[in-house]
């Protein structure tokens, strides 16, 4: 359950509806979908299955499963028990008004209703509803299961509470909710995209550039900056120490020059042909499914690259991973519990940025995976953000790694952990990273950790609460058969 939402209803299961279904299934929600189009259920399940490897790289919450997707033949059945209803029908105001009136009649009183519309006014969409106060726009971006932005727009009869509840829910499934404070057609992001798109079409129509050249002009320049900053911050920086004021003083007069054309060009058959030929040449025979996979992996890599800097989608990614880690890797010690030997506290995936030039898991990221296993143990014994904020932590002082097999993209990993030794300040750990499906060991690590008081700048005794849990684990592990390669040293065989 996310912010009181346990079941999501999807009305319309095309590209956007399938994206919503994938994201919510990944967070362990029940999803019920309805779409009257022939073959809709098969297409929806196929779309979710194709997206599942990508969303899995970001983590799957407890209970996350494609099996929690149910398809209903009737609208009333689909939404009857839903806590949140996300409509993603075709972008026609007459159709949306009709569907929302039907949703309004069948939905339970406390359910929120959001439209994925990319430009229609929510006041018009809610016009025929008896409970318009719960209807709003929740406009996502494709692919919905990866891109975090969702624009929230209220109609004239939408109450603030509905916006706040929707904001909490969307944030709870790893998104970045942006409240569009004034009801305007096309909201914010699409208006900006539309301006760029019109200029793009003019440049192609006038023979100034091909689709490939224009895409290069964006991908290798402004697009990289836009991955974490908007135009405002980019141009503020362009002004140097004086910032935006100097930028406008220096480049403002250029706004009077006839550089761009805001009116769209005539969409002639010739222009359509140029656009189609250009993009087909760029695709170079790569299928749509292959391009989707390439896009998904690239987006994840960009967002993860921005993560350490805490800017743009990188900050959303950090928040997403923290929430997902808490949801998935949050096994905590319970008093009286008998620990397993070994402990199985975490799972993971081989991510695109973990691959080397041979397309196998790079050596550096074996250590990253080991760190995830250690983090899961720390949370299990009660060492969390608050513990570290108080200045207490473990530092690794020695590591030994053994490699047995290669890791490959999207491979599911299972982590097993043993305690090999423990005293007041030291913790001797052993981790095995396995292929989750076959159980085969990929690599192991043996580590000596030292507990420190960061504020005092020296080694210090483990605090009583986590030490008590470690003692309970050690009481079991010290009597268990140790892993076969524990204590191995590097030496030339004679």
The pLDDT of residue 243 is: 82
Question: What is the rounded average pLDDT of the residues 418-436?
Answer: 96
Position 328 pLDDT exceeds 70 = no
The pLDDT of residue 303 is: 87
Residue 292's pLDDT band (boundaries 50, 70, 90)? confident
The pLDDT of residue 45 is: 97
Are residues 118 and 91 in contact, defined by beta-carbon separation less than 8 angstroms? yes
Position 267 pLDDT exceeds 70 = yes
Residue 239's Cβ-count burial label (10 Å; 0-12, 13-18, 19+) is middle
For residues 240 and 101, give the distance between their C-alpha atoms in angstroms, rounded to a whole number. 53
The pLDDT of residue 85 is: 98
For residues 290 and 368, give the distance between their C-alpha atoms in angstroms, rounded to a whole number. 28
List, for residues 190-204, the tens digit of each pLDDT value: 999 999 999 999 999
> What's 7-187's CATH class?
alpha beta
Closest alpha carbon to 27 in 57, 54, 65, 82: 65
Question: What is the rounded average pLDDT of the residues 308-333?
Answer: 79
Position 320 pLDDT exceeds 90 = no
Q: Which residues pair with 153 in a beta bridge?
A: 137, 180
Question: What is the rounded average pLDDT of the residues 49-53?
Answer: 93
Q: Which of 5-9, 284-288, 316-320, 481-485 has the highest mean pLDDT?
A: 5-9
The pLDDT of residue 253 is: 82
Are residues 140 and 87 in contact, defined by beta-carbon separation less than 8 angstroms? no
Does the 190-308 domain belong in CATH 1.10.1040.10?
yes
Closest alpha carbon to 272 in 205, 332, 326: 205
The pLDDT of residue 330 is: 59
Tallying the residues shown for the chain, one arrives at 494
Average the pLDDT over each of 127-141, 245-259, 292-306, 364-378 and give the range with the smallest value: 245-259
List, for residues 134-157, the tens digit of each pLDDT value: 999 999 999 999 999 999 999 999
What count of other Cβ atoms lies within 10 Å of the Cβ of residue 16? Answer: 23
Position 447 pLDDT exceeds 70 = yes
Every domain of the chain and the residues it spans: 7-187, 190-308, 329-477
**Position with higher pLDDT, 260 vs 93:** 93
Question: What is the rounded average pLDDT of the residues 82-105?
Answer: 97
Position 385 pLDDT exceeds 70 = yes
Question: What is the rounded average pLDDT of the residues 422-426?
Answer: 97
Architecture label for domain 329-477: Roll (3.10)
Average the pLDDT over each of 167-181, 218-232, 428-442 and give the range with the smallest value: 218-232
Are residues 129 and 52 in contact, defined by beta-carbon separation less than 8 angstroms? no
* Torsion angle (degrees, nearest 10) of CA 177, 181, 184, 189: -40
Position 301 pLDDT exceeds 60 = yes
Q: Which residues pair with 402 in a beta bridge?
A: 444
Question: What is the rounded average pLDDT of the residues 112-140?
Answer: 97
Question: What is the rounded average pLDDT of the residues 413-442?
Answer: 95
Whether the pTM exceeds 0.85: the reply is no
CA atoms within 13 A on the CB side of 217: 11
For residues 82 and 12, give the distance between their C-alpha atoms in angstroms, rounded to a whole number. 15
Closest alpha carbon to 418 in 436, 431, 433: 431
Q: Using the structure block, give the residue that is written with the tokens 């430009």.
A: 119
* Torsion angle (degrees, nearest 10) of CA 365, 370, 372, 378: -150
**CB neighbour list of residue 220: distance below 8 Å, 6 or more residues apart:** none
Token pair listed for 32 = 């019920």
Strand locations in 351-422 (E): 392-403, 412-422
**CB neighbour list of residue 273: distance below 8 Å, 6 or more residues apart:** none
Token pair listed for 77 = 């059945």
Q: Average model confidence (pLDDT) for the chain?
A: 91
Q: Which of 208-222, 246-260, 417-431 has the highest mean pLDDT?
A: 417-431
SS3 3: coil
Question: What is the rounded average pLDDT of the residues 373-388?
Answer: 89
Residue 299's pLDDT band (boundaries 50, 70, 90)? confident
* Torsion angle (degrees, nearest 10) of CA 306, 310, 316, 320: 90
């Amino acid at each position: 359950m996310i912010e009181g939402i346990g079941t999501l209803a999807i009305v319309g299961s095309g590209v956007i509806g399938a994206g919503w279904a994938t994201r919510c299934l990944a967070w362990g929600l029940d999803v019920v979908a309805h779409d009257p189009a022939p073959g809709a259920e098969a297409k929806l399940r196929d779309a979710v299955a194709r997206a599942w490897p990508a969303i899995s790289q970001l983590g799957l919450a407890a209970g996350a499963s494609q099996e929690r997707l149910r398809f209903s033949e009737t609208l009333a059945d689909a939404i009857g028990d839903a806590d949140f209803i996300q409509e993603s029908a075709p972008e026609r105001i007459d159709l949306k008004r009709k569907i929302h009136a039907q949703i309004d009649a069948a939905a339970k009183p406390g359910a929120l209703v959001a439209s994925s519309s990319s430009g229609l006014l929510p006041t018009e969409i809610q016009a025929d509803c008896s409970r318009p106060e719960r209807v709003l726009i929740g406009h996502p971006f494709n692919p919905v299961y990866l891109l975090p932005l969702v624009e929230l727009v209220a109609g004239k009869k939408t109450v603030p509470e509905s916006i706040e509840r929707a904001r909490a829910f969307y944030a709870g499934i790893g998104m970045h909710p942006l409240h569009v404070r004034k009801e305007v057609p096309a909201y914010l992001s699409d208006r900006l995209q539309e301006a760029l798109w019109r200029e793009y079409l003019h440049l192609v129509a006038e023979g100034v550039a091909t689709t490939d050249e224009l895409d290069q002009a964006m991908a290798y320049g402004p697009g990289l900056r836009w991955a974490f900053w908007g135009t405002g911050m980019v141009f503020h920086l362009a002004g140097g120490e004086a910032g935006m004021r100097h930028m406008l003083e220096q480049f403002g007069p250029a706004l009077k020059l006839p550089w761009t054309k805001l009116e769209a060009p005539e969409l002639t058959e010739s222009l359509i042909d140029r656009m189609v030929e250009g993009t087909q040449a760029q695709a170079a025979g790569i299928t749509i499914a292959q391009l989707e996979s390439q896009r998904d992996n690239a987006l994840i890599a960009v967002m993860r690259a921005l993560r350490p800097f805490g800017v743009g989608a990188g900050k959303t990614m950090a928040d997403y991973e923290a929430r997902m880690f808490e949801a998935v890797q949050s096994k905590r010690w319970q008093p009286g519990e008998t620990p397993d030997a070994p402990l199985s506290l975490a799972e993971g995936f081989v991510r695109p940025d973990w691959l080397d030039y041979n397309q196998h898991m790079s050596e550096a990221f074996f250590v990253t995976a080991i760190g995830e296993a250690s983090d899961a143990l720390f949370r299990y014994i009660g060492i969390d953000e608050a513990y570290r904020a108080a200045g207490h932590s473990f530092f690794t002082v020695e590591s030994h790694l053994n490699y047995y097999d290669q890791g490959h993209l999207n491979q599911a990993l299972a982590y097993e952990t043993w305690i090999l030794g423990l005293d007041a300040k030291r913790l001797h750990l052993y981790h095995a990273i396995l292929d989750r499906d076959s159980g085969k060991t990929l690599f192991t690590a043996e580590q000596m950790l030292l507990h420190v008081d960061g504020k005092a700048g020296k080694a210090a005794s483990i605090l009583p609460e986590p030490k008590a849990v470690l003692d309970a684990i050690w009481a079991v592990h010290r009597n268990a058969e140790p892993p076969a390669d524990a204590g191995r040293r590097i030496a030339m065989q004679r």
